[in-house]
Amino acid sequence: MNSKINRIDAVHSLGFHNFHGPDSGEFVFPDGETPPSESEIQAEVKRLQAEYDAKAYARARQPLYPDIGDQLDDLYHKGAFSAEMKAKIKKVKDDNPKPE
Amino acid sequence: MATLKLGSTTAMSESSGAVSIPSNVQFPAGHIIKTHKLTYRITTTQNVAVSSSFAVVTYASPGGAMEITGITATQGNLLHISGYGGTVYAQEDGSYATCIGFGIDGEEHGQFHGFNYGTSTGKYGFWNGHIGMVYTVPANFTNKSIELRCKKEGGSALHQIRASTGVLPVTLWMLVHEIQQ
């Protein structure tokens, strides 16, 4: 998904999977298919953008977590997350809180 | 105005110091005798959705349809057709390919197929959209169109062709050379 939601993302999200045309222009749909209205497309753009923006915390956390291999190695050796690994993960979460 | 004739046929003519060769003079094999081109310079991100029909790639302004019209060529000559229609993109699709190619007088000529093995969230495929091909001119090739086209093989995943961040500003182009045989 793009960081800036566009009309193509919105039309696709509305369940149309076989259309072509430029994002800022007119789309062509297969014969017999009723295309979404522009207001439906714009409403879906708005909804998807809000959904994307609300996940900013998760995207911020993702590259900061310890390497997956390190986490698994830690699990293998300790049988559970060590206090040190737990602390690293918790710090990422605390530094990037999930909005209430 | 002066003319140089071989027998009764004009081989060269001169007007106001400019010398020209008339179109009925045949060049040796291998010479490019005609060119057609199309360019669009795109400065802000544009994405174009791709369907399962092999449709002409069409960008919004300042782009347009990737199509050259009015091409007339001589039977038996070669057309060297090339172009860049943008970056090919497939989102989370491990089942269906994206294809770009040319439409020549309504006939489909697939040239490139990108396939993305990843289906999980965040698995995207990006491919360079430069393509080229050689076409032997058939009879009656008069006032024809050559287009750059794109399609997805099928399925419900999102496929696009793009002129977007990372490559901007970008020049989309098509070039057709007619080569004497």
pLDDT in tens, A10-32: 999 999 999 999 998 899 999 89
What per-residue confidence (pLDDT) applies to A79? 86
Binned at pLDDT 50, 70 and 90, residue B92 comes out as confident
The ipTM (two decimal places) reads 0.73
Question: In this model, does residue B107 exceed pLDDT 90?
Answer: yes
Phi first, then psi: give them for residue A10, nearest 5 degrees. Answer: -65, -45
Measure Cα distances from A80 to A72, A74, A86, B24 in Å: 10, 8, 9, 85
Chain B residues with CB under 8 Å of A1 CB are: 91
Would you call A11 an interface residue with chain B, using a CB distance cutoff of 8 Å? yes
Query: Dihedral of CA B164/B165/B166/B167: which sign?
Result: positive
Would you call A88 an interface residue with chain B, using a CB distance cutoff of 8 Å? no
Identify the residue among A17, A20, A41 best suited for mutation to test binding to B, counting B beta carbons within 10 A and taking the highest. A20
Phi first, then psi: give them for residue B79, nearest 5 degrees. Answer: -110, 125
Which helix or strand (DSSP H or E) is residue A77 part of? helix A68-78
Subunit contact B49:A21, Cβ cutoff 8 A: yes
Subunit contact B158:A27, Cβ cutoff 8 A: no
Give the gap in angstroms from C-alpha B168 to the nearest C-alpha of chain A.
16
Six-digit token pair at B127? 């491919």
Would you call A27 an interface residue with chain B, using a CB distance cutoff of 8 Å? yes
Give residue for tokens 């901007």.
B168
Subunit contact A22:B47, Cβ cutoff 8 A: yes
Distance CA B3, CA B10 (A): 6
What per-residue confidence (pLDDT) applies to B164? 86
Distance CA B175, CA B181 (A): 19
Distance CA A68, CA A85 (A): 11
Six-digit token pair at B15? 């007007």
Give the gap in angstroms from C-alpha A4 to the nearest C-alpha of chain B.
11
Would you call A52 an interface residue with chain B, using a CB distance cutoff of 8 Å? no
Query: Dihedral of CA B133/B34/B128/A19: which sign?
Result: negative
Would you call B165 an interface residue with chain A, using a CB distance cutoff of 8 Å? no
What per-residue confidence (pLDDT) applies to B77? 97
Six-digit token pair at B52? 């399962």
Distance CA A16, CA A19 (A): 7
What per-residue confidence (pLDDT) applies to B32? 97
Give the gap in angstroms from C-alpha B61 to the nearest C-alpha of chain A.
9
Question: Where do the domains of chain A lie?
Answer: 7-63, 66-95
3-state helix, strand, coil in chain B (%, to 5): 0, 55, 45
Subunit contact A30:B50, Cβ cutoff 8 A: no
Distance CA B53, CA B65 (A): 16
Nearest residue of A to residue B149 by CA position?
Answer: A20
Model confidence over A66-76: pLDDT tens digits? 999 899 888 88
Would you call B58 an interface residue with chain A, using a CB distance cutoff of 8 Å? yes
Would you call B53 an interface residue with chain A, using a CB distance cutoff of 8 Å? yes
3-class secondary structure, B175:
strand
pTM value? Answer: 0.80
Percent residues over pLDDT 70 in chain B:
97
Q: Which residues contact B43 (CB under 8 A, 6 or more apart)?
A: B62, B168, B169
Of B48, B51, B150, the CB nearest to A22: B48
